[in-house]
Amino acid sequence: MNEQVGRFLLQLIEMDKWDAAKWIEVAFRVSLRAPAPPMLCIVYKCPEPAKEIFAGLRASVTRDDEEEMLRISVIEGITLEDPNAFTVKISPHIQNVLRHFNAEIRAGEHEHYVSTSRFLRTSPNRPFPLFTEFKEHVKRTGEYKLIPAAWINGSLVPFVDLSIRKREIFFRHKSEITPGDEDVVVLREKQ
C-alpha cells in the first residue's frame, strides 16, 4: 500500500474541524443574468472552523481542484416517505488520488484503502426548484463552485474567497447504489 495515498485519504477530510464547524445544511446559488458557475454552499453553524476546513482543502487540492481529488455526490430518492430528501457527500475521489500519486492498481491486484467522508441528508418540505436549477446550470456551464458558508446574525454568508472550482459532481439516485459502492454509506438509517 502506498503510504502517501493512505495518509492523504485519511487527512483530506479533517474530522475534528468538521465536528467543530457543525455542517447544518446546503444551499444553492445560481446567477440568472451572467453565465457564472453555480454555487454549492456547505453551510456550517460555526464560521471559523468552516473557513479552516476550506483553507485546508484548498491547500490539498488547490482552489481549482484540476485533478478532481475531492469527490462530491448528491444522492436523491433517499427515502420513500420523503421524496424531496437528498444527501450531499464529500469525500476523496480515490481513483483520482491514486492517479495523482502514481499509485494505480493494476488489473488483478487488490489494494485496500480507507478514507474519511462527510455527508448530510436534507429534507426540504416541498420540491426544491433551486436544486433543479443548480443541476441545469452545472450541466450548461460544466463547472460549479464549492463554497463554505455560515449563518451570521440571521444572514447566510458565503465565504467566496475560499471557494473551490469543481467540474465533476455525481448526481445519483439511491437505486443506482449497490453494496460496495463508494456512496453506500449514505444509505444507512441514521447519520
pLDDT digits (tens, 9 = 90+) for 10-32: 999 999 999 999 999 999 999 87
Confidence at residue 26, expressed as pLDDT on a 0 to 100 scale: 96
Among residues 23, 44, 42, 27, which one has the least CA distance to residue 133? 27
Residue 90 falls inside a structural domain = yes
Pairing relation of β-strands 144-152 and 39-44?
Answer: parallel
pLDDT tens digits, one per residue of 162-184: 999 999 999 999 999 999 899 99
CA distances from 177 to 57, 80, 151, 167, 172 (A): 27, 15, 33, 22, 8
User: What range defines the domain where residue 153 resides?
Assistant: 3-173
Residue ranges of the chain with per-residue pLDDT less than 70 = 1, 105-111, 189-191
pTM: 0.92
The reply to whether 178 falls in a domain is no
| Average pLDDT of every residue of the chain | 91
The phi and psi torsions of 165 (rounded to 5 degrees) equal -80, 130
Is residue 85 one of the residues assigned to a domain? yes
Residue of 147, 169, 165, 171 lying closest to 66 (CA atoms): 165
Quote the pLDDT of residue 191: 45
Number of domains in the chain: 1
**For 6, what's the count of Cα atoms within 13 Å in the CB-facing half-sphere?**
6
